[in-house]
Each structure stands twice: as structure tokens, then as C-alpha cells.
Amino acid sequence: MLIFLFAVLIYLYGSLPYAYIATYLLKKRNLANEGTGNIGVTNAIKVGGTAVGIITVLGEISKAIIPILASSYFFEGNIKITLLFIYLSFLGTSFSIFLKGRGGKGSTVIIWSLAILSPKACLIMLVTWITIVLFSKNNPVIKTIPLFLIPIIFYIFETEVYFTIFCVFFSITTFINNKIKMDDYKFYKLFNNSPLSK
């Protein structure tokens, strides 16, 4: 029962759209209707500026730290529970109940979580990701390759099946989320370039 309660609370905390809130409070602008329309760190910085960006980043980092601390304090750092909590926080960030299922990409949450739990594997993952993206020449197919390498990288370093399962779920969720965001962005650009929107 306690795990279920924490699971719900962590998903709700992950759902808090820091980028949206900070942009609205500091700039009185609706992040969902500006820039790329994405409720994430990058768009928050572009639309709201440095102060909004800092608040957003700190908020997103807290979504990585709080699940780990909750698991450590209340569940003796059980790795299965830790990974479940992190995934729920990531899920809340990507599909926020407060934004009717919209959200950010959740990259900050995942990167900080994995950096805390497995620094070496996280470093290799980031180097691999950056290298492939730099040589992808904006090819969307090539850019998805790192997503499917993440479970392999973490299995090599952690040899822990739960880590691998977590990374598989993360990769699949991110792939789906990126596809949705790409479709949303195309619609956003189409609508905003339409004569009817002028």
C-alpha cells in the first residue's frame, strides 16, 4: 500500500510542468503556444530566457533526486523500487496529468537519475548519443539509434536485469514521445503558417 501511495505521489510530482509554470509566472507567456510548443527545458530557455531556464532545470533535476531519496529513505534503496519511482517521475514529465497528457521529453530526469545510479554507464551513453547525433546530419532515423543502444550499454555495466528492463521501457517511451512531439510540431508549424492564423 505504501509503495502504491508513493508511486502515485511521484508520478504527480513528475507531472509538475516546471517549464510551463516558470514561463507563465515570470514572463506571462504560455509555453505550449510559443517556440516549438514543447513543454521542456530547451523551449523554456528559448521562450522565457535564462531565469526561466534555471528554474526549469532545477525543477527537472529534483524529479530525478526525489524518487531516489524516497526509495532510499522509505524502502532501503531497493533497486526495483528505485527504478520504478524514477520511471514514474519520467512518465509524469513526459505525459503530465496537469497538461492533459502533454509534457517535456524527460531527458533531464533520466540523465540525472542514471548519472547518480550508474555514472560510468551514463557517461558512455552520453558520449555515444552525442557522437551519433553529431554525425546523423539531422537524419531522424539515425537519431533514434542511441535509444536502442541504451539498454545494451547499461546491461554491460550493471549486469542487472532490472536496469536493462528499465532502460528498455525508457527507450520505448522516449521513442513514442518523440514521435508524438514531432507530429505536434508539424501541426503547430502548419497552423501558425496558415493564413487563417494571421
**pLDDT reported for residue 193:** 47
**CA-atom Rg of the chain in angstroms:** 17
Segment 11-31, tens digit of pLDDT: 999 999 999 999 999 998 888
Q: Is the pLDDT of residue 155 over 80?
A: yes
Inter-CA distances, 22 with 19, 41, 146, 184, Å: 5, 11, 31, 22
Distances from the Cα of 16 to the Cαs of 55, 59, 90, in angstroms?
Answer: 13, 9, 11
- DSSP string computed for 60-94: HHHHHHHHHHHHHHHSTT-HHHHHHHHHHHHHHHH
What does pLDDT average to over the chain? 85
| Cα 23 to Cα 94: distance, rounded to the nearest angstrom | 18
Condensed to tens digits (0 to 9), the pLDDT of residues 93-147 reads 999 999 888 888 888 999 999 999 999 999 998 898 888 878 877 666 666 777 8
Which of the pair, 92 or 194, is modelled with greater confidence? 92
* Cα torsion 186, 192, 196, 197: sign: positive
Q: Give tens-digit pLDDT for 171-182.
A: 999 888 877 656
Contact (CB, 8 A) for 162 and 87? no
pTM over 0.95? The answer is: no
Residue 105 in 3-state DSSP?
A: coil
Domain of residue 98 covers 2-197
- Please tell me the predicted confidence (pLDDT) of residue 140: 66
Are the C-beta atoms of residues 105 and 178 closer than 8 Å to each other? yes
pLDDT reported for residue 78: 94
Q: How confident is the model over 138-150, as pLDDT tens digits?
A: 666 666 777 888 8
Q: In this predicted structure, what is the pLDDT of residue 189?
A: 46
Nearest to 32 by CA among 133, 128, 103: 103
* pLDDT value of residue 60: 95
The 8-class DSSP code of residue 35 comes to T
- Give the three cell numbers for residue 180: 508524438
Total structural domains within the chain: 1
Which of 106, 64, 94, 95 minimizes the C-alpha distance to 82?
64
